[in-house]
Amino acid sequence: MSRAVQFELRLAERMSRLGTETAFEVLNRARELERQGRDIIHLEIGEPDFDTPPNIVNSGIDALHAGWTHYGPSAGLPDLREAIAEEVTRSRGVRVTAEEVVVVPGGKPIIFFSILALIDEGDEVIYPNPGFPIYESMINYVGGRGMPIRLREEKDFGLDVDELARLISDQTRLIILNSPHNPTGGVLGKRDLEQIAEAIGDRNIFVLSDEIYSRLIFDGKHHSIIAEPGLKDRTILLDGFSKSYAMTGWRMGYGVMRPDLAWQVARLMTNSNSCTASFTQVAGIEALRGDQSSVEQMCLEFQRRRDMFVAGLNRIKGFSCRVPKGAFYVFPNITAAGWKSKALADALLEEAGVACLSGTSFGEFGEGYLRFSIANSMENLERALERIEQWISNKNI
Ligand SMILES: Cc1ncc(COP(=O)(O)O)c(C=O)c1O
């Protein structure tokens, strides 16, 4: 039954500054087309197509039966914080203690809470563009001044440190890094991080280092700025379980930061969520301490798909694609096709039945690119290539 709305919806002004993630909009449109009987290949959404490994699922079920169904501490269960501290110490080569860890429902809340806790109106935040759209959304939401740093294809989507140095000012409070990078698959190497640390120098600037794809790296090893000399107290390391362990729906991530900031972020948790679900945290301990072979297998499978899909795109007229070094996205340059990114993404969905995202979903410097998620079967990726190729040849591009 519909009800007439009598009162005007008067939203707070800041709501007009909140952005979104286009992936969900494209997914909705794709589902609508499917309801109309169309066959759509989903390459828009950024989540592993694998199930959560059974040892983790069983641990979550056992935890439910064992009564892990109550509130827990806002900063996370002590045992999980300890397990995360051990994992970060081992993988990043820098000593981390449990009091520096805050467990939150997914990686996203660490972006939200860091920006809420650190950024006042007018403070400048440097962030990658193209980049994960939530950074810009949250900076704008709190009234910060977003300073996009362009990631360039000719630099293999790394970060130009001279450009970064030019963007840093007395108003800079935060620099956001993301490696491996969504949407380009770019990776920051040790030398890049050393140079970034040098550019920051001894300024009182925080780095939010989004490392949610740290386990999905194909060539070489993952490096974190938290290990650079002098940067540990100014780094907020974001990582989590969504991508590494195919646990997107469990909602569990974490931040590693100096204890006094961790305490403030825990206060934001108390005010917003109270705590992350207790039984999922018990499963998180199993994820970190249990068998890791499924992570390795998933990574190898993504690499196989990447190699096939990038080679396939490079055979299509109007497309040219670099080989991403990490994450599970492919970001081809489509300027030679003669279409704007959004128009091409829309046409591929509506006419070819392939759902992907426009590069502009990740900021203005994403114009000229499309993002394909390779979190789909080899067979579907091959079918997607055939459809795109056919569509392009029908258009005489
Ligand atoms: C770069 C980046 N950071 C953070 C997240 C958020 O991850 P979660 O689902 O754990 O909140 C994502 C998810 O797509 C991402 O791509």
Report whether residue 248 contacts ligand 1, using a CB cutoff of 6 Å: yes
Report whether residue 235 contacts ligand 1, using a CB cutoff of 6 Å: no
| Confidence tier at 333 by pLDDT (50, 70, 90) | very high
Report whether residue 276 contacts ligand 1, using a CB cutoff of 6 Å: no
Q: Could you tell me the distance, in angstroms and rounded to a whole number, from the CA of residue 312 to the centre of ligand 1?
A: 27
In this predicted structure, what is the pLDDT of residue 106? 98
Residues 329-339 have a mean pLDDT of 97
Report whether residue 185 contacts ligand 1, using a CB cutoff of 6 Å: no
Question: Quick one: which of 23, 38, 53, 41 has its CA closest to 379?
Answer: 41
CA distances from 340 to 38, 250, 296, 333 (A): 24, 36, 37, 11
Asked whether residue 2 carries a pLDDT value surpassing 70, the answer given is no
Asked whether residue 1 carries a pLDDT value surpassing 60, the answer given is no
Report whether residue 48 contacts ligand 1, using a CB cutoff of 6 Å: no
287: phi then psi, degrees, rounded to nearest 5: -55, -45
The region of weakest confidence among 168-177, 224-233, 336-345, 388-397 is 388-397
In this predicted structure, what is the pLDDT of residue 3? 67
Report whether residue 212 contacts ligand 1, using a CB cutoff of 6 Å: yes
From 176, 187, 243, 273, give the residue whose CB has the most ligand 1 atoms within 8 Å, as the site to mutate.
243
Cis peptide bond upstream of 133, omega within 30: no
Asked whether residue 320 carries a pLDDT value surpassing 90, the answer given is yes
129: phi then psi, degrees, rounded to nearest 5: -145, 115
In this predicted structure, what is the pLDDT of residue 396? 78
CA angle 311, 316, 322 (to 5 degrees): 45
Report whether residue 255 contacts ligand 1, using a CB cutoff of 6 Å: no
Residues 213-239 have a mean pLDDT of 96
Q: What is the largest CA-CA distance in the chain?
A: 63
In this predicted structure, what is the pLDDT of residue 197? 98
Report whether residue 242 contacts ligand 1, using a CB cutoff of 6 Å: yes
Asked whether residue 331 carries a pLDDT value surpassing 90, the answer given is yes
Closest atom of ligand 1 relative to the 252 alpha carbon: 10
**Alpha helices, DSSP H, located in the chain:** 22-35, 54-65, 78-92, 108-118, 133-141, 161-167, 190-200, 259-272, 278-289, 293-314, 341-347, 378-394
Whole-number Å distance between alpha carbons of 366 and 136: 14
- Percent of the chain at pLDDT > 70 equals 99
Q: Could you tell me the distance, in angstroms and rounded to a whole number, from the CA of residue 107 to the centre of ligand 1?
A: 5
Asked whether residue 313 carries a pLDDT value surpassing 70, the answer given is yes
Q: What percent of the chain is helix, strand and coil (3-state, nearest 5)?
A: 45, 15, 40
CB 109 within 8 A of CB 258: no
Closest atom of ligand 1 relative to the 132 alpha carbon: 1
| Confidence tier at 308 by pLDDT (50, 70, 90) | very high
Residue owning the nearest CA to atom 7 of ligand 1? 107
Residue owning the nearest CA to atom 13 of ligand 1? 46
Q: Could you tell me the distance, in angstroms and rounded to a whole number, from the CA of residue 255 to the centre of ligand 1?
A: 13
Residues 119-146 have a mean pLDDT of 98
Q: Could you tell me the distance, in angstroms and rounded to a whole number, from the CA of residue 110 to the centre of ligand 1?
A: 10
From 47, 84, 108, 111, give the residue whose CB has the most ligand 1 atoms within 8 Å, as the site to mutate.
108
Report whether residue 184 contacts ligand 1, using a CB cutoff of 6 Å: no
Whole-number Å distance between alpha carbons of 130 and 331: 11
Report whether residue 368 contacts ligand 1, using a CB cutoff of 6 Å: no
Report whether residue 108 contacts ligand 1, using a CB cutoff of 6 Å: yes
In this predicted structure, what is the pLDDT of residue 219? 83
| Confidence tier at 303 by pLDDT (50, 70, 90) | very high
